[in-house]
Amino acid sequence: MKQFFKMMFASTLGVLVAAGIFSVCSIFFIMGILASAEGSSEYMPEKNTVFKLSLKGTLSDQAVKNPFDEIMGETNSRMSLVDITKAIRCAKTNDNIKGIYLEVDGLSGGFAGFEAIQRELKDFKESGKFIVAYGDFYTQGCYYLASVADSVYLNPLGAVSLTGLVYQGIFFTGLEEKLGIEPLIFKVGTYKSYTEPYVLKKFSEANREQITSFLGSVWGNMTSVIEKNRNIPAAKLEQFLNEGLALGSAGKAVDYKLVDALLYRNDVENIVKKMAGQDVKGKLKVAGVDKMASIKVKEKESKNKIAIYYAEGEITMEEPSSPWDADAKVITENMAKQIRKLKDKDDVKAVVLRVNSPGGNAFVAEQIWKAITELKAVKPVVVSMGDYAASGGYYISAPASKIIAERTTLTGSIGVFGILPNLAGTFEKIGLTTDVVKTNTYADLGDMSRPMREDEKALIQNSVERTYDLFITRCAEGRGMTKARIDSIGQGRVWTGEQAKGIGLVDELGGIEDAVKQAASLAEITDYTVTVADAPKDFITKFMEKKLDEAKVSVVKNLMGEDFETFRLVQKAKTQRGIMARMPFDKVGL
């Protein structure tokens, strides 16, 4: 019997060891494949190739492709604005690329990112090369981009979904009443509306005013571009919108000159083949964003560097530890350390800070502000605003030498808030009681099981007001304004880049290239090389650091579908703490 157990144990151990070795080998095998794919050689396009720009997924400034997305069936991958921009520019200058085939498949993102792509496409057309757009269904943002094309085609059963912009708020007040939750709100800013869903049942008049204002500004910019690109009178486009013709037959889009013809995908591809000089009977010869962006651009190396630092995501105390946020972008205090490194690099003559953030933790924003102020004392700092540079995002932008924003950037939101839930009513409903023993008056400050005393509320409100006073002080110092002036245009109000320029929060309108030129001018250099100070980590590095978090996220996203973002929002809310300088909206985009 003893021998039997020894043999059984040895066999079991052997199986476990073999399984472990197999798993490790499998992981390294996958990693080897991924590393080979990422380290592939530069793409060289064949003659008469077409750059196929497929508009799908989610747009962000920088994106690291997660190979597990495809393995797990996740198709809503991220697209990088940096890569798209580079790809379009390479297509413009490469003689073997004859034009762009713009294939619409539901790209989502912020207003400013779309504005930047639209500008690049317009510049591409100046080369004399063609742009042809095709879509089964055009979302508003994708149609805005497609309107630049020489020819716009629509599937006979498709639609151009131009209906106008809308922002819908969800209010939790009724639910809180049923659960016995009393949210305690501490804020400064008439327009600081992040807290409204917890205490109101509809938008306040101030919030409705600011939403109407910035939506009108963004929509006005979008429609004016469409009208100009398609040579459509404003009254004609307004008629299409207000009569709900987006829900009519596809032929209405032709009647109103939104598209040139109703064609099937195969027919459009044959048109593109002819325009590119390809064999109509053969397969359309195309190159995607990844291939085009891999083409190396020959630049003269200079000892003078202009460094671009990408500050993208919410400002938080620490990196997300939850696997649900494994692919989320955040800004932490580590940014201050990186900024100080740039200050000490002699070859870096100027820094372009690309801010794409709705704000977040006020304490962290102050630490980053300090580092940027120190950097500016040594060399020029120019901010390029992306989709958002609001609240804490504006806080870290304020000390810059110059601020450049897109017309549709959402910025400002200079205000702060804090939220503490009082669960005394909930405890009573479910029969829970608590008792405390304390050594000092405020030892139990923040106890959610009892109503908060007035003296405690006053202490917290004073803290919030001090933070706001510091916020407007930082803005006043950075913008050369009085605190009173900043307060008058602050109060938590959100402005578009176009509006912000008119009130002095922004210096110029433009993209990141304009910011680089401005930085060079301020540094008084004409010979320079542009470098990226914080290139995103490749997938292998992220894989080693976060292990299988990426894979877990892909599995859960695949199972939950559209509900995943709501789930992630709830998980994120659990970790927020401290006084917040954050934009009042979680997502405003196309």
Catalytic center residues: 192, 391
Q: How far apart are CA 218 and CA 411, in angstroms?
A: 12
Distance CA 40, CA 290 (A): 11
Crossing angle for the helix pair 362-376 and 454-479, to the nearest 10 degrees: 20
Q: Exposed (0-12), middle (13-18) or buried (19+): which is 462, by Cβ within 10 Å?
A: exposed
Cα(533)–Cα(298) distance, integer angstroms: 20
357: closest CA among 338, 383, 321?
A: 383
C-alpha span between 553 and 166 (Å, rounded):
30
Is residue 399 packed enough to be buried (19+ CB in 10 Å), middle (13-18) or exposed (0-12)?
Answer: buried
Residue 120, number of CB atoms within 10 A of its CB: 21
Of residues 296, 310, 256, the one with CA closest to residue 113: 310
Per-residue b or e along 70-86, where b marks 16 or more CB atoms closer than 10 Å to that residue's CB = eebebeeebbbbbbbbb
Q: Rg of the Cα trace of the chain? A: 27
Residues 59, 114: contact at Cβ < 8 Å? yes
The CA distance from 104 to 84, in Å, is 14
Answer for the pair 196, 190: CB distance below 8 angstroms, yes or no. no
Q: How, if at all, do strands 348-357 and 529-532 pair?
A: unpaired
Phi, psi of 274 (to 5 degrees): -60, -45
Cβ contact 315:330 at 8 Å = yes
- Cβ atoms of residues 186 and 464 within 8 Å: yes
Residue 72 phi, psi (nearest 5) = -90, 5
Strand partners, 51: 100, 287
Report the 10 Å Cβ neighbour count for 575: 13
Beta bridge partners of 496: 410
Q: Which of 392, 412, 407, 358 is nearest to 191 (CA)?
A: 412
Please provide residue 163's backbone torsions phi and psi, each rounded to the nearest 5 degrees. -130, -10
For residue 82, what are the contacts with CB-CB under 8 A and spacing of at least 6?
61, 62
